Amino acid sequence: MTTIYRFDYALTADNDDAIAESQTPGAGGVQALTLDGTAVSGGVATLDVQRRVLITCAGSDAGRTFTITGTDDAGYAISEAVAGSNAGTSSSTLDFKTVTEVTVDDDTAGAVEVGTSTVGCSRMRVMNLYQEPFNVSLGITVDGTVNYTIEHSFDDPFGPRGDMSWFEHSDLAGDTSAEDGNYAFPVTAIRVKINSGTGTVSARIIQGG
């Protein structure tokens, strides 16, 4: 039986303080940042699509740990600890659709902001490992300016999101135009990663068998 997946994925422009505007935690111990950015309503930040969360530190906060809590666009609860930076930025590796809380483990050296980066990954498409032979065809088109990569995993797609490892497709990495490719070996899931740009990546995935 042939299975066909069709989906589009795009990111709005990155926004450094869409989740939490500039603030300097200084009460000692674990503290929750105030979620007051433009993406926040009712105490919850809701992003355009699931994507990476960016933390910007004005001071030397490489020793601080920020914990981001929320959900992905499938509604799964996710949480990630992200190390702070020394007057720079650091990013989550998980993709958040909503952010319900951001905490820091102690006082920060300077102001911090929380927002979105230029990077994000689409919801994964789970493959049928029991379909033989395992053949997957990929067709990617783009609209606008965007740099994208196709990624795959060998891990359980129904387990914890943070436990999954992702690998780049050998021929579809860092592309900016329409491309096609395939998988001739079993993978558990496939997704689109946008590295930069606000263009739309349209993916067509066909699993034959």
Task: Verify that 98 and 181 share a domain, yes or no.
Answer: no
Task: Verify that 41 and 56 share a domain, yes or no.
Answer: yes
Tracing tokens 């989550």 back to the chain, one arrives at 92
- Determine contact, residues 194/13, Cβ cutoff 8 Å: no
Task: Verify that 103 and 164 share a domain, yes or no.
Answer: no
Partnered with residue 205 across adjacent β-strands are 5, 138
In tens, the pLDDT along 92-115 reads 999 999 999 999 999 999 999 999
Cα dihedral value 168, 170, 171, 172, nearest 10: 0
In tens, the pLDDT along 185-202 reads 999 999 999 999 999 999
pLDDT-based confidence at 2, cuts 50/70/90?
confident
Q: Into how many domains does the chain fold?
A: 2
Distance in angstroms (rounded) separating the CA atoms of residues 106 and 66: 9
Start-to-end C-alpha separation, the chain? 6
Instruction: With CA atoms as reference, report the closest residue to 175 among 157, 201, 198.
Output: 201
For residue 170, the enclosing domain spans 3-9+121-208
In tens, the pLDDT along 156-182 reads 999 988 899 999 999 999 999 999 999
